[in-house]
Amino acid sequence: MLFALITWQVAVDGPLAGLDVRLGDTLRRTSPPAAVAELFADLGNLAVALPVLAAAMTYAVVTGGGREGQGARRWLPPVCAALALVLTGVAVTLVKVWLGRPGPPGGTNYYPSGHTATAAVAFGGAALLFSLTARRPPYWPLPATAALLTLACSAGLVWRGYHWPLDVVASWCLSWVVLTGAVAVTLRGLGRSPAPPP
């Protein structure tokens, strides 16, 4: 619902979109050193995020997701993670082209942020795959690390003036939907239930 609201505001250039531009300008003025902000922004590059996901996929296949004798099922979690990244890329591209939102540096097609979505799904997918192989709790450090890396990427993109804040927030929403879907399919395919909340 939040994604739909933000997208509607961006599409009609509503009050929320105007506030977004002002907030983005303010955040750029409070940026840390450019090298730090750029380092954070680069976390969403495919050259950074894809090897992390590929390593987690390889580990999941080799270890069989932490279960013995899974056979063909050992491929399910990595395939779900890969498809999540592909699906996210397609969805982001379609929305970018449809809306054609101008970005801080000029040009169009900045909404939603592809770098943020890449970081969220690649790091989130890696956290899922490594969590499946964990022998005992706590599981929370893995998704927490993925969330922190995604937030760092998002902040860097705004600080460097590559995206408006709503561009990255929309990508969080989109990525959350894709990742929760991938988790649900993975757990169902492996015959597991999500862990009850603590």
The Cα 38–Cα 45 span in angstroms is 11
- Mean per-residue pLDDT, 136-156: 88
33-42 CB contacts, 8 Å cutoff, 24+ apart:
34/160, 36/156, 37/155, 37/156, 37/159, 37/160, 38/156, 38/160, 39/156, 40/152, 40/153, 40/155, 40/156, 40/157, 40/159, 41/115, 41/153, 41/156, 41/157, 41/159, 41/160, 41/162, 42/153, 42/156
Please name which of 81, 48, 78 lies closest in space to residue 63, comparing C-alpha atoms.
78
Threshold 0.75, pTM exceeds = yes
Q: What pLDDT is attached to residue 72?
A: 58
Q: What pLDDT is attached to residue 193?
A: 52
Q: Report the range of poorest mean pLDDT among 153-162, 173-182, 188-197.
A: 188-197
Asked whether residue 1 carries a pLDDT value surpassing 50, the answer given is yes
